[in-house]
Structures are given as structure tokens and as C-alpha cells.
């Protein structure tokens, strides 16, 4: 069976989790986590690289041992190291790790102190008030776990869109091999760029459906065929992802694409609009009585109800229909609009590439600038920069800028916002930088009032430029901290600083509704990759999807500006 990078990354993440629960060597744990991250950001499948005879040890964070494990997984679909760890661990521990808020350290405490190794045991312990007495928990943590468990089942039925993309792209290419197939599109929440997807809805245009259906159910990643009809089949992939494939005639393709893209609320609103015009819309077309009057393209569907085409990312029934009718739909930002990236790390802290390598990769993307923003000294686990090391990097960047052509490296820092709102480095040092990105990396469970005041105080700092990953969430792993985001956005407007859309697929932070609020308040947002390797720059596509869901146009995004204009804007915040 084909093995995707996401499959290998999941294996390495599980190994790292089990090692951390067992309190193994931290460097060994970090090696697996770094390898997982490299694989998730890799543009090509590891399987393809191996077939081409490429040396995997040239990839960031991949040594000889890990390269051997990747080859083992690709060839056999198994990893003996993981199987050995599973046998040595209590059953169910990995299920506990899937619950937001429970990292390996907490699972270690639950297992060793309370003999908890299943979600059911955790729920009983929380209900019995046994967690509050455990070190690192307390009554508030216990209450959060009870609340989280109530929604955990619903959340775990969805996967991150970036992971789903690996399966979706492979399936699209597979279906395009069938003779007579004209178009293949992934619809549903995937097409709307939702952060997570529950399943994949794939639409195929072909005059004859039987060859498509037969080819689809023969896909070698399928472990179960739930249904197979003349024009539709539903299957479960080895990854657990459900996939629905529908075949329609070209005359109905636009209508079907529109119908299965959703959202449900948007579709209902459009159907009501059609009914007011004596029309009926379904997946086969737009009809006046029994006659099809539109449906071959999505544009024709919208035209039939008197509207221009609405981008899929906007179809949530949050004002897009009214904007279309008024002629005020946004011209959504695109990946090609970005002139650079303002959040990236190198080997100086927890990145995998050198300054020169990051600069070359940024230039290859067609950008004119890249900001290097290492972690500050508070984050000792990732070798955060102290004053001496940051000054050294500033000198290195200055020397490299004298050599480079076609790209400028900006000098920055991702500085920790301390518990009391102070920044982790002295003013005299921050003043030497082009930009200062403030970030919360600790004390996620402060009260709403304290967390908000903490961030507001940091934003008042004269050298503060931008707030990184503003809510602190990690999708399906850590809930956002409790903060008054509208107040943060208003403060950014008054202070003249910026907010980040962190494009890392585990974050996608800021959420779309707050992106829209920031736009309305006149606050510029910056779509950053938070790159820890050259391959991470590709994650900006996910950030663009998030920005588009938030109605952002080119003018609403800071890093669509050319360098000269950007420097002026950055200078205005410091």
C-alpha cells in the first residue's frame, strides 16, 4: 500500500509521545518530533524520493537511523520500534494523548500516580474529583478535562486539512487516470478551506460512471467499501478517512460542485433565493419547472439567482450573499500576493537550516524579504537567544545581506511575553531589530482578565511589532487560551501594531471570524509560515486559506507590501 508522509509523521509522533511518557532521553524525543515536522512539510512523498534513489539524510533533522526507519515504513507499512514501544506501554495511553490539554507529561502523571490509561478511566477520575490532588492539575484543570471530554468524540472524527490534503491529492491523481474523466475536484469543507475535515467529497465529471467506480474501489489504500452504486461509492481508507466519490455528467458538474461544496447554511439561503424566482436548485442543475437552465458551471448557478460567483471560502452564510448582491464581495488575497515572510527560525534555535539556506529558499519563492525571528532566551528547551547570541546573529545577517542579491533578511526576534506582560529581552537590544514579534509560550491557563491584561501590556511596549499565534491554540491538541480577542484587536488598532495569521497547519491562528473583525477594525494581519525549515514555507498556502475565509484582501495583509513600504510600516510600530 502507498505510504504518505502523513502516515510516517504520525508514527514518529506516536514514538515521541510514548518515549516522553516513559521519560526517555529528551534529545531522542526531539529527534522524532523534528523528523515528523520535516515530513509533514515535505513537498514530495518520501516514497518517491526513495524510489529516485535520493539520500534521505540530506533532509533537515533526518539522520541515518531515522532514514532507515522511513525506508522500513515505506516498504512494509510497519515500524518495529513503534511496535516494541506499544508492547512495553499500557494499552490506551496513546488514546489519552489525543485529548486536548493532555500532553505526554500529564499522561505520565495520570498513569504512574493514578493508574489511568484509558479515556474512560480519566473521565471517571475527573467525575470523582481525583485529578485535582495530582501535581500539575488542580480543580480548574479537572473541570476543563470534564468539559473537553464532552466534545472529544466529535473532534476526533475530523482531521487537519493539511493532512487530508496528502490523501486528497493522491486520490485526485489516481482518478484522473481513468479514460473519459474530464474534471476531478475535492468539494466539501476541504474546498472551503476549513481547518479540519470530517471526510473527503470528490466530484468527477465523466459521461460513463462505471469505469470510474470500478477504478476507485480498486484503490489500494481502501480497507472497506461501505457502498458502491452506479454513480457513487463510499469507502474507508487505511488512515481511517472516509471518502465519497460521485460521478456526474458535464452538464451538471457546476451544480454538483456547488451543492457538495456547501456549507449547508449557505446552500439553504441560496435555495430560498432561487425559490423566490420560481427556480429549483439541486445537485443536477438549476431548473425552471422541468427545464434545466443552468448547472454546467458554478458561475451559471450563481447567475441564475442574480449573483456573481462567490468564492468557496466565503460560503458560510455570514454575509457573503448580501455582499454579492451589493457588489461588495472582497477580492480575496492569493499566495502570489505575498512579498515575503516575517516569521522564520534557523539552526540558531530550533530550526533545521542555516541563514543562507533560508534566504535562498525565500528567494526561490519569489519573495524580496524574509524576517529571521528566533526564540528568545526564556525558551531554554529550544536554545532561545540571549543578548550575546542575538547580537552575533544581527552581525551575521548584516554580513549576509551585503552578499545576497534579490532578497533581504530582516532582523527580528520572537520574544516571550512574560507572565506579567514584560518582554523577555531588554529594550536596548530590541531597539536594534527591524521587528519584534511577541508570543505567549507559557501560563496558558490564566484567567481571561489576567491573560488579556498580560498581552495588552506587552503590546504597549514601544518596540512591540506583532502578536504571534494570537490565541495560542494547537488544533486538536490544545484549546486557545481564554482571552478577550476583540479587545486585543482594538488595542492593535490603537497601538498601530499587527496580528499574525500563523500558517503552521497545527495552528492556523488567527481564526477566520477574528480575521474578519481585524479587517473591519483596520488592523493589518501578517500571514507567516513560522518556518523551522525551508520546506515549511509551503505552509503559507494554508495561511492563505485561513485569510480568505476571513474575507481578507491584499490590502488587509501586511506582507503583501513591497520592502520599502513594509519598512515604513514596521518603523511606525517601534
Computed over every residue of the chain, the mean pLDDT equals: 92
Residue 150 has pLDDT above 70, yes or no: no
- How confident is residue 50, by pLDDT bands cut at 50, 70 and 90? very high
Do 171 and 200 form a contact (C-beta atoms < 8 A)? yes
Question: Which residue in 549, 533, 545 sits closest to 505, CA to CA?
Answer: 545
pTM of the model: 0.80
Question: For 96-135, what is each residue's pLDDT tens digit?
Answer: 877 777 878 888 888 888 878 777 788 888 888 888 888 8
pLDDT > 90: percent of the chain: 74
According to the model, what pLDDT value does residue 118 have? 74
The C-alpha cell at 415 is 520574544
Residue 346: count other Cβ atoms within 10 Å of its Cβ: 23
Chain centre to alpha carbon of residue 61: 21
According to the model, what pLDDT value does residue 325 have? 95
Do 473 and 483 form a contact (C-beta atoms < 8 A)? no
Q: What is the DSSP string of 506-561?
A: TT-BS-HHHHHHHHHHT--EEEE--BSSGGGGGGHHHHHHHHHHTT-BGGGBGGGS
Do 43 and 533 form a contact (C-beta atoms < 8 A)? no
287 forms beta bridges with 280, 292
According to the model, what pLDDT value does residue 152 have? 56
CA 190, CA 161: separation in Å to the nearest integer?
7
| Pairing relationship of beta strands 369-375 and 498-502 according to DSSP bridges | unpaired
Question: For 168-189, what is each residue's pLDDT tens digit?
Answer: 999 999 999 999 999 999 999 9
According to the model, what pLDDT value does residue 463 have? 96
Tell me which H or E stretch contains 115. Answer: none
Question: For 484-507, what is each residue's pLDDT tens digit?
Answer: 999 999 999 999 999 999 999 999
Residue 555: count other Cβ atoms within 10 Å of its Cβ: 13
296 forms beta bridges with none
According to the model, what pLDDT value does residue 149 have? 74
Radius of gyration of the chain (CA): 25
The C-alpha cell at 329 is 464581495
485-514 per-residue burial string, b: 16 or more CB within 10 A, e: under 16 = beebbbbbeebebbbbbbbbbbbbbbbbeb
Domains and CATH numbers, the chain: 5-155 (1.10.150.110), 160-326 (3.30.460.10), 335-571 (3.20.20.140)
Amino acid at each position: 500500500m502507498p505510504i504518505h508522509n502523513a502516515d510516517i509523521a504520525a508514527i514518529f509522533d506516536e514514538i515521541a509521545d510514548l518515549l516522553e511518557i516513559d521519560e526517555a532521553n529528551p534529545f531522542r524525543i526531539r529527534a522524532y518530533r523534528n523528523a515528523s515536522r520535516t515530513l509533514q512539510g515535505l513537498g514530495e512523498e518520501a516514497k518517491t524520493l526513495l524510489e529516485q534513489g535520493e539520500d534521505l539524510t540530506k533532509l533537515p533533522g533526518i539522520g541515518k537511523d531515522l532514514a532507515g526507519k522511513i525506508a522500513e515504513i515505506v516498504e512494509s507499512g510497519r515500524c518495529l520500534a513503534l511496535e516494541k514501544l506499544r508492547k512495553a506501554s499500557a494499552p490506551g495511553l496513546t488514546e489519552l494523548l489525543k485529548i486536548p490539554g493532555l500532553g505526554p507529561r500529564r499522561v505520565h502523571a495520570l498513569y504512574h500516580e493514578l493508574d489511568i490509561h484509558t479515556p474512560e478511566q480519566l473521565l471517571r477520575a475527573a467525575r470523582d474529583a481525583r485529578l485535582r490532588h495530582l501535581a500539575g492539575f488542580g480543580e480548574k484543570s479537572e473541570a476543563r478535562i470534564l468539559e473537553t471530554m464532552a466534545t472529544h468524540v466529535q473532534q476526533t472524527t475530523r482531521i487537519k486539512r493539511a493532512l487530508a490534503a496528502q490523501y486528497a491529492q493522491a486520490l485526485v491523481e489516481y482518478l484522473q487516470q481513468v479514460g473519459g474523466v474530464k474534471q476531478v475536484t475535492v468539494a466539501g469543507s476541504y474546498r472551503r478551506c476549513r481547518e479540519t475535515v470530517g471526510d473527503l467529497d470528490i466530484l468527477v465529471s465523466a459521461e460513463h460512471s462505471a469505469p470510474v467506480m470500478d477504478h476507485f474501489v480498486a484503490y489500494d489504500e481502501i480497507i472497506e467499501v461501505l457502498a458502491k452504486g452506479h454513480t457513487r461509492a463510499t469507502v474507508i481508507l487505511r488512515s481511517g478517512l472516509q471518502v465519497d466519490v460521485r460521478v456526474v455528467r458535464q452538464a451538471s458538474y457546476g451544480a454538483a460542485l456547488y451543492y457538495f461544496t456547501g456549507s449547508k447554511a449557505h446552500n439553504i439561503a441560496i435555495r430560498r433565493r432561487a425559490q423566490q424566482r420560481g427556480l429549483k436548485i439541486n445537485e443536477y442543475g438549476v431548473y425552471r419547472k422541468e427545464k434545466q437552465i443552468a448547472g454546467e458551471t458554478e458561475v451559471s448557478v450563481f447567475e441564475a439567482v442574480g449573483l456573481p460567483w462567490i468564492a468557496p471560502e466565503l460560503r458560510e452564510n455570514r454575509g457573503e450573499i448580501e455582499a454579492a448582491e451589493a457588489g461588495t464581495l472582497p477580492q480575496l488575497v492569493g499566495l502570489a500576493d505575498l512579498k515575503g515572510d516575517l516569521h522564520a527560525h534557523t539552526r540558531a534555535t530550533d530550526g533545521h537550516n542555516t541563514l543562507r539556506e533560508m534566504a535562498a529558499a525565500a528567494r526561490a519563492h519569489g519573495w524580496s524579504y524574509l524576517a529571521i525571528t528566533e526564540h528568545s532566551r526564556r525558551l531554554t528547551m529550544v536554545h532561545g537567544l540571549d543578548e550575546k547570541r542575538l547580537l552575533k546573529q544581527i552581525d551575521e545577517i548584516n554580513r549576509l545581506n551585503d552578499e545576497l542579491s534579490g532578497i533581504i533578511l530582516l532582523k527580528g526576534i520572537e520574544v516571550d511575553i512574560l507572565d506579567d506582560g514584560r518582554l523577555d529581552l531588554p529594550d536596548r537590544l530590541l531597539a536594534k531589530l527591524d521587528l519584534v514579534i511577541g508570543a505567549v509560550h507559557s501560563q496558558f491557563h490564566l484567567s481571561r482578565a489576567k491573560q488579556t491584561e498580560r498581552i495588552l501590556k506587552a503590546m504597549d511596549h514601544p518596540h512591540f511589532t506583532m502578536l504571534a499565534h494570537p490565541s495560542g491554540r494547537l488544533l486538536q491538541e490544545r484549546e486557545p487560551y481564554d482571552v478577550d480577542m476583540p479587545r486585543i484587536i482594538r488595542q492593535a488598532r490603537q497601538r498601530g501594531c499587527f496580528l499574525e495569521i500563523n500558517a503552521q497547519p497545527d495552528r492556523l491562528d488567527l481564526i477566520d471570524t477574528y480575521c474578519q473583525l481585524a479587517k473591519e477594525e483596520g488592523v493589518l494581519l501578517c500571514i507567516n509560515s513560522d518556518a523551522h525549515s525551508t520546506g515549511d514555507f509551503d505552509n503559507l498556502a494554508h495561511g492563505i486559506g485561513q485569510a480568505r475565509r476571513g474575507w481578507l484582501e491584499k490590502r488587509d495583509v501586511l506582507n503583501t507590501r513591497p520592502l520599502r513600504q513594509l519598512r515604513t510600516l514596521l518603523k511606525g510600530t517601534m
